[in-house]
Every structure is written in C-alpha cells, then in structure tokens.
Amino acid sequence: MACGMSFSKPLLPLCAAVLLLAGCAKDQTSYPSLAIRDAERVGGTFQPVEPEPFVPAPQNPQALQNIDSLTASAREAHGRFTAATERVQRQVRSASGSARESEAWILAQVAVADLESIRSEAMISLADLDRIHTDAQTEERETAEAAAAQAEVQQLVSAEDEVITSLLRALGY
C-alpha cells in the first residue's frame, strides 16, 4: 500500500463515513437561525364558528298517517267512554252503600270494568303515539305532530282516569 498504511476491510466503511460527514461540515454562519420567525408567531383572535341551526327531517308520511289514525281511535274510544259514563254512574249510585256481595255492587263493578276497558283503548293509542314520538326523536325527525297528538290523547286519558277514580271511590275502593 501507499505511504506505508494498510487498511483492513472492516475499517474501510468507517473511513468512508468519516470522509462523507466531513463534507457536510460547512461554515456555521451560513445555517438559518432556529429562532421563531414573524410568520410563525401567533397573532389575532379566533371567533367561534356559528353552528348551523338544527333542522329536523320531516316526519315520515306513514308515521303521520299513523298519528292521525291513533288520535282518531282515541277520540272514538273517548266518545264511547263518555256515552257509557252516565249509565255506569247510575249503577254506581244505586250500588253505593251496598254490601260487596250484593248484585247491585257486582253489576256496578262490572260496569266500571267496562269503562276501564274502553279507557285501555285510548291508552293503547297513547302508547303507540309515545313510540312514534320516541322514534321520531331518535331518527332526528320532526316531532311536533306526534307531541300534539300525545298531549291531546293524554288529556282524554287523564279525564277518563278521574272519572274511573271517582266511581271506584263511590264503590268503596
């Protein structure tokens, strides 16, 4: 070898790496500064983005049809309830003060049970309206129609509850 130096094969890659790295060492003043530049500075204020107003999807046409049908069914049941109330009130008045095993008391009890059966029809409509309303909320649909129908049927059922409660009190419950 020249100059009396001999390189072993494992040192050759090391020497090559030292020579390559030496080429990267330049004048230290030519590197850019790592200080924050004016363009990198945070300035100004942020304004929150105005959220878009939530607009629910229109109610499903089938659900609207069901709402109308259920409301009509509850009204019809309430009409039958109202028509039967007078007869049941007479029977309860005639049984008032009777022994529980008397025929008048038993007939009055059966008449009140008939009223409760009619009320249950309105309550079934109310339960179905509750389901439609809940489904509409879950699906992010319009709920105004379902809520209005619920309120109307709930008033009918509450009025029927009051009548039945007063009749049962008169029978001694």
Q: What is the pLDDT of residues 41-99, one digit of tens each?
A: 777 777 888 999 888 888 888 999 999 999 999 999 999 999 999 999 999 999 888 88
Provide the pLDDT confidence category of residue 1 given band limits of 50, 70 and 90.
Answer: very low
Instruction: Give dist(CA 133, CA 67) in Å, integer.
Output: 9
Closest CA to 150 of 162, 168, 137, 140: 137
Tokens at residue 64, please?
């609207």
pTM passes above 0.75 = no
Which residue in the block uniquely carries the two structure tokens 């020497």? 15
What does the H/E/C string look like for 16-84? HHHHHHHHHCCCHHHCCCCCCCHHHCCCCCCCCCCCCCCCCECCCHHHHHHHHHHHHHHHHHHHHHHHH
